[in-house]
Structure 1
Amino acid sequence: MKSVLKCMLLLVLVSSCSKIELNDDPIIGIWKHSVKTATNTNKMVIDNEEWIFNDVYMGRFHGYRKGQVVFLTDFKWSVENGTYIVRYPGTDFPDDLVEMKETEDGTVLIRAEGKIFAQKEKS
């Protein structure tokens, strides 16, 4: 009787565990963009941008100037109908709405107005 009870308990434990959802979205990875000069409302000047998208719908943005990180913030991302939405809570950054495109030069994220947002770093 004890072994039947143990088996039932084990069965309940195994069947009640939730499965972790696998996120293999193609946006996951490192994306970069070189800019001539970008200034946010805090008058911070950067010349390179980098977004690191992870599989739990979050990531980290780095703003570089002359090779040094001058701005760093976390972001959240989501995707709706093929449009990626990047939000920067706690900053003055507006949300970024981008779509992924394949080009001869690789995979890029494009803003709605057609400008390149970032290019995926090759693995």
Structure 2
Amino acid sequence: MKKLFSLLSIVCIIAISNCTSIPENNDPILGIWVNASTTLESKNETTVREEWIFNDVYLGRYQRYSNNTIDFYTDFKWSEENGIYNIIYSDTEISDVIVNLEETNEPEILSLENGGVFAVRE
């Protein structure tokens, strides 16, 4: 009887665990977004590249490069409501930001509320 009870318990556990599934996130913001700029100061050219990596569990990584050397990085959380994305950084050095995704343009653009370009899909 103990063997039958153990076998039924194992079958029930397997059946219950197979019924649960992780919802798939197909949000169009997923991927790598970039904003790059070059400045010229006192005969020194500086290239600054900002990179946002959005993943499917509503988390991401922000990285800032200066002349191809990483000089700052932090994690962030993101959420979407009615096509508006809210990016909340874990580091207080950077202010949280709200952006919109413009999918009709090539390349795709994340724009700020004032219409300025925040980042471009890489």
What TM-score results when the alignment is normalised by the length of structure 2? Answer: 0.79
The gaps in structure 1 that reach 5 residues or longer are 38-44
* 2:46 is aligned with 1:66: no
Cα distance in 2 for partners of 1:76, 1:104 equals 25
**Contact 1:60/1:73, CA 8 A, preserved across alignment:** yes
* 2:65 is aligned with 1:57: no
**Contact 2:88/2:96, CA 8 A, preserved across alignment:** yes
What TM-score results when the alignment is normalised by the length of structure 1? Answer: 0.78
* 2:122 is aligned with 1:118: no
What RMSD, in angstroms, separates the aligned Cα atoms of the two structures? 2.2
**Ranges of 4+ aligned residues in structure 1 off by more than 4 Å:** 1-5
* 2:106 is aligned with 1:102: no
The gaps in structure 2 that reach 5 residues or longer are 40-45
**Aligned pairs, how many?**
113
Aligned counterparts, 1:6-85, within 5 A: 6=7, 8-17=8-17, 18-36=20-38, 47-85=48-86
> Identity over aligned residues, as a percent?
40
Letter in 2 for 1:105: E
